[in-house]
Amino acid sequence: MKIGVPKEIKDNEYRVALTPGSVEMLVREGAEVLVQCGAGEGSGFADQEYRSSGAILLPEAAAVWEGSAMIMKVKEPQPVEYAYLRKDMILFTYLHLAAEPELTKVLLEAGTTAIAYETVQLDSGVLPLLMPMSEVAGRMSIQVIAHYLEKENGGRGKLLGGVPGVRPADVVILGGGIVGSNAAKMALGMGAHVTIIDTNADRLRYLDEVLHGNLTTLGSNFQNIADSVKHADGVVGSVLIPGAKAPKLVSREMVASMKPGSVIVDVAIDQGGCVETARPTKHSDPVYRLHEVIHYCVTNMPGAVPRTSTYALNNVTLPYAMKIAKSDLLEVIKRDTSLFRGVNTLTGHLTSRPVGEAHSLEYVPLQKLFKS
Ligand SMILES: NC(=O)c1ccc[n+]([C@@H]2O[C@H](COP(=O)([O-])OP(=O)(O)OC[C@H]3O[C@@H](n4cnc5c(N)ncnc54)[C@H](O)[C@@H]3O)[C@@H](O)[C@H]2O)c1
C-alpha cells in the first residue's frame, strides 16, 4: 500500500503523522511511504532522516495526496486540501467532524473512507488515540502553573514545592481522569500539595491507592469545589462528560474568591471549559487576567511540545496503520472492533451517529453497508 504524509498546514500545527522510525516499520512491512519535504520539520525530523528510513520525499503536497491510497495526517484536512479527497482513498487522522459540517459534506461527496483517530474505541470504552494527548496536556498543565506562579510572569511568586520550613503550593485538580491523574503525578513529583476532586468514588479510591505524597481526594460537590478553589494557588480543569459540554464547576464568584496571582489551567476548554470565566486562548497569546487570576485556556496544549506529542501519537497510531497497510481495509474493519468504531464515512455514507445528529444528516450503520 502507498501511504502519504503531507505537511500539516493548520495554523500552529507542528506535529507530523509519521516519525522516520514509523516509516521504517511500515516500509519493512512492504508499504511505500510518500512524505512531503519538510513534513517533519516542526517536530525536529529532517527530510534526510525520512529518506534513510526508506520514504520517498516529494516536494509538493499534491503529489503526496494523488499518489497515496492512505493519507495519514494529524489535523483534519483544511479547505485548500478538500480537492485532493477521492473515492479510492483512506484518510486516517483527527477529524472532529461533529464540529466540521463543511468537511463532512466534502468527504461524503468525494466518497472518501475517513477513519477518525478520536473515535477509534476499545471495547472497554477507552479512546486509545486520544489518550496520549490527554497525558501530554495533563503533565504540561503543572509546568504551566509553575511558570505562571513566578512573580516575573505575573503570579503570586510561589514555588510549587516550597522549601523545608515553607509551605508548598496548593494545586486543585477537577476531574481525576487521564489529564487529572497525569497532572497529579507531576504536581506531587514537584512537591506540591494536591487535591483531586471527582464524582467517581472508585476513581478516587484508585488514585488514593496509586499516587503517593501530599494528596487529598474529595467527592465533587459545590462546597468542596468552592473551599478548595478559594485556597488554591493553581487549579487544573480536567473534567469530561463524554459527548457533552463540560459542566461549569467553578463559578465566577469562586474565581473572584481566589488569591491574586493564582493560576487556572482549564484543559477542558476544548469542550467549553469547566470554569465560568474561561475562554479559549492560543499558544501565541496563552493567558489573560480576570479577577486578578491568571487564566490559561489553550485548546491544543500538546502543540507546544510537538516532538513529544508526535512520538506519543505514533506509539498508538502505528499499530493500526500497519494493520490497514497489510490487508484489505474492509476485512481489517470487520475483524478490529476499535477501528470499526473509528470509521466516520465510507463510500459516500455517513457511518457516525453523533456526526449525523450534529448536522441533521442521514446516518447508515456500518454493519448495514457490509451486508449490502
Ligand atoms: N486543551 C487541550 O489541549 C486538551 C488536550 C487533551 C485533552 N483535553 C480535554 O481534557 C478533558 C479531560 O480529558 P480526559 O482524557 O482526562 O478525560 P477522562 O474521561 O479521562 O477524565 C474525566 C474525569 O472527569 C470526571 N468528572 C466528570 N464529571 C465531573 C464532575 N462534575 N466533577 C468532577 N469530576 C468529574 C470523570 O469522573 C473523569 O474521571 C477533556 O475535555 C479533553 O478533551 C484538552
134 is in an annotated binding site: yes
Instruction: Indicate which residue of 96, 147, 231, 291 is catalytic.
Output: 96
Q: Spell out the domains of the chain, with CATH numbers in brackets.
A: 2-127+307-371 (3.40.50.720), 131-304 (3.40.50.720)
Mutate to test the pocket of ligand 1, among 181, 238, 245, 287 (most ligand atoms within 8 A of CB): 238
b/e per residue, 129-155, with b = 16+ CB within 10 A? bbbbbbbbbbbbbbbbbbebbeeeebb
Residues 6 or more apart whose Cβ sits within 8 Å of residue 176: 184, 196, 197, 198, 200, 203, 204, 207, 217, 238
Which has more pLDDT, 243 or 134?
134
Mutate to test the pocket of ligand 1, among 124, 240, 308 (most ligand atoms within 8 A of CB): 240
Question: What pLDDT was estimated at residue 241?
Answer: 83
| Local confidence band at 342 (pLDDT 50, 70, 90 cut-offs) | very high
298 is in an annotated binding site: yes
**DSSP H/E element including 48:** helix 47-52
- Is the CB of 273 inside a 6 Å radius of any atom of ligand 1? no
User: Region 160-170: what's the mean pLDDT?
Assistant: 98
> What is the phi/psi pair of residue 41, to 5°?
-50, -50
Q: Which amino acid is at 171?
A: V
- Is the CB of 196 inside a 6 Å radius of any atom of ligand 1? no
- For ligand 1, the distance from its centroid to the CA atom of residue 279, given in whole angstroms, is 17
Question: What pLDDT was estimated at residue 372?
Answer: 65
Q: Which amino acid is at 152?
A: E
Lowest mean pLDDT among 107-111, 240-244, 269-273: 240-244
Residue 96 annotated to the active site? yes
Question: What pLDDT was estimated at residue 367?
Answer: 87
Whole-angstrom distance, CA of residue 107 vs CA of residue 343? 12
Whole-angstrom distance, CA of residue 172 vs CA of residue 170? 7
- Is the CB of 268 inside a 6 Å radius of any atom of ligand 1? yes
Taking the CA of residue 131 as reference, the ligand 1 atom at the shortest distance is 15
114 is in an annotated binding site: no
The reported pTM is 0.92
Whole-angstrom distance, CA of residue 325 vs CA of residue 321? 6
Whole-angstrom distance, CA of residue 218 vs CA of residue 223? 11
- Is the CB of 312 inside a 6 Å radius of any atom of ligand 1? no
Check pLDDT > 90 for residue 169: yes
Q: What is the pLDDT of residues 122-151, one digit of tens each?
A: 999 999 999 999 999 999 999 999 999 999
> For the chain, what percent of residues have pLDDT higher than 90?
88
The x, y and z cell numbers of residue 236, run together, are 487544573
- Is the CB of 179 inside a 6 Å radius of any atom of ligand 1? yes
Instruction: Indicate which residue of 193, 270, 295, 349 is catalytic.
Output: 270
> For the chain, what percent of residues have pLDDT higher than 70?
99
Taking the CA of residue 301 as reference, the ligand 1 atom at the shortest distance is 3
Check pLDDT > 90 for residue 371: no
The x, y and z cell numbers of residue 258, run together, are 481566589
Check pLDDT > 70 for residue 105: yes
Whole-angstrom distance, CA of residue 250 vs CA of residue 269? 13
Question: What pLDDT was estimated at residue 43?
Answer: 97
Whole-angstrom distance, CA of residue 55 vs CA of residue 62? 17
Lowest mean pLDDT among 118-127, 184-193, 195-204, 241-250: 241-250
Residue 123 annotated to the active site? no
Residue nearest to atom 20 of ligand 1 (CA): 177
Cα separation of the two ends of the chain: 26
> What is the phi/psi pair of residue 50, to 5°?
-65, -40
Q: What is the pLDDT of residues 253-305, one digit of tens each?
A: 999 999 999 999 999 998 889 999 999 999 999 999 999 999 999 988 999 99
Check pLDDT > 90 for residue 103: yes
